[in-house]
Chain A
């Protein structure tokens, strides 16, 4: 396509088409007029007009997590770009591939405090994997190509491209679709054979092997390999929040999520194992607790991560493996075939017993001592099909879901892990529904979180994106209230949200289906009505004002020091 004169905006759009972009979430503005003119010409790309840039970033993030493809969001200069920041930080912390395009004032005005000017390039440097300020239209093909390449390879993340107005408008003759990359960017994909062999030996000889599956397993599409390895070894599997869905939680070897609000036996297994294979996890403090001597004290630790900077960062490891999780697991499996695997160990029996104890609790919907919130999530396990995509807001609703919801498939549990962003779940659900229009998408929300981004109900209605928001309505900032109750003598400072709004009227004002669920028994029909309405829906589920997410590791505690375990069967 050499020799053709294109505007900068047209070049960007041509490169987006070449990258296979099918949807972009954005809001136009003064510094993006040229870009939107060019985007309009590309019929392949659906543009979804959001109502707040933060939601555009979350939607792109949700789209990426569900589809595995790079999400694209667009915002104008100044406030448009600064509104993106929370969403981009969130995506980058959870290694979700997103490319953000931002308008910028003309290059001649940069640095002059022009109208709607913010130094997007400088502001986004620490919250992105990489970013570009493009000052010449000639650079655009290489920049856009590399933005997508960097975002969705190695440890995935966010790449932002800042596009000054004059760069979008200027017409230049360039060669499109370059293949050239950056000399300093070579993701370490291939694991070292010596290391994978050592890992296989340790795992084969372990008496109590355990696999800790993080988000990296899902992002590397390594769930089949994970399951095969666990079954071959007779190893238990625990997950992080980001790893939920890496293995079906109904699988007899799966002990569910570990950590602060994890399942008691997931944490117990971490404490008891003698070999731990950690896959694509960064050992966040919410996973390990704060008494590190309780975290896998007897285990030989093997860590696989595509990002060398994660190895040894939070926990010292014995066998580091830098590389793609899928490739590393394939290698370990190859080595193992030559080894002899012991069958039916004592540990295998114990893992299965621990699994049964948890499953029993989840299936026993009205177990004495259960809160309304517990019951509602347990009900959802029965009411939603295995393909349903769950997104969550942040706080109690998120941890109830993480604890009790049985995720069956990868890329169906979408939550804000690293940043813990209230308001993430609903716009992420929009992105999820766009990525998978044939699947049911349910946002498990708190009333506090939902109010932070609920304006994008307008986006859902206007673009026919029927997601169902299930609000766990306790009129509190519930998780903070829980901490105030447990650790600050019940002084509920500024966590009471009062009585407004009426979520039914709110939903209806936007044109959504809305229904109140006063009792858990009403959930079934309400969900059915919501799905059958074909409209975006708001279900206002009344939960106990003082429902608590338990068990939990109290702040400063370790993984064997969970409180609130009275309801758990001892095994």
Chain B
């Protein structure tokens, strides 16, 4: 089992998402992350799907997805030849000045933006590779994360 990132070019019709996700449901595969958005071609969308699957499962899923009429292209993105990004928004406890200073310093060193701040908390925004985001989250757990939102992975292949 390994994390797999699949990029799909699909027609932007109602039902495409259900059709696509149904393909995974039928095989008992859980989608761990999913992003959908318009792309450079009018009438088409791009989906980035992340799943945990073996090589053979991935191969089956890839072929089945290609069989869907509204799916135009299926690419499984290998980590080394793709730029993979995730966006994370989190609200972190800052119960005193020390905590606040430390959170802000760490945020800076990770390149996270301070999106908003109140007396008790700071909202941080970080766009990065999923692994770096994981590490940043681990760090922030020491201060107490009130809420955490992630968009899920989006990815683009290198030339």
Which A residues contact B (CB, under 8 angstroms)? Answer: 121-122, 125-126, 129-130, 133, 150, 182-185, 307-309, 311-313
Contacts and interface: CB of A to CB of B under 8 A. Distances in A.
Interface in B20-58: 22, 26, 56
A126 B64 CA distance: 12
Contacts of B59: 312
B67 A309 contact: yes
B15 A125 contact: yes
B68 to A, nearest CB: 7
Given A184-B69, A184-B71, A313 B60 contact: yes
Contact of A184 (B56, B60, B70): B70
A172 to B, nearest CB: 20
B18 interface: yes
Nearest to A181: B69
A309 B15 contact: no
A309 B64 contact: yes
Contacts of B63: 308-309, 311
Given A184-B11, A185-B69, A125 B22 contact: yes
13 contacts: A121-B15, A122-B15, A125-B18, A133-B14, A182-B69, A183-B72, A184-B11, A184-B68, A184-B70, A184-B71, A309-B60, A309-B63, A309-B66
A328 B113 CA distance: 59
Specify which of B59, B64, B67, B70 lies most central, judged by the most chain A CB atoms within 10 Å of its CB.
Answer: B67
A153 to B, nearest CB: 11
B100 interface: no
A308 B66 CA distance: 9
Contacts of A307: 67
A3 to B, nearest CB: 26
Nearest to A130: B69
A125 B19 contact: yes
Nearest to A185: B69
Contacts of A311: 63
A126 B70 contact: no
B70 A182 contact: yes
A164 B89 CA distance: 43
Given A126-B22, A309-B60, A133 B15 contact: yes
A126 B23 CA distance: 8
Contacts of B70: 182, 184
Contacts of A182: 11, 69-70
A180 B6 CA distance: 28
A432 B67 CA distance: 30
A476 to B, nearest CB: 34
A130 B67 CA distance: 10
Nearest to B61: A309
Given A309-B60, A309-B67, A184 B18 contact: no
Contacts of B56: 312
Interface string B60-83: 100110111111110000000000
B69 to A, nearest CB: 5
A307 B60 CA distance: 12
Query: Max chain A CB contacts within 10 Å: which of B14, B18, B60, B63?
Result: B63
Nearest to B26: A126
A122 B18 contact: yes
A417 B63 CA distance: 23
Contacts of A309: 60, 63-64, 66-67
Contacts of B67: 307-309
Contacts of A150: 69
A309 B72 CA distance: 16
A475 B68 CA distance: 44
Contacts of B69: 129-130, 150, 182, 184-185
A169 B71 CA distance: 31
Contacts of A313: 60
B45 to A, nearest CB: 12
B28 to A, nearest CB: 13
A150 B26 CA distance: 22
Contacts of B19: 125
Contacts of A125: 15, 18-19, 22
A63 B140 CA distance: 66
A121 B63 CA distance: 23
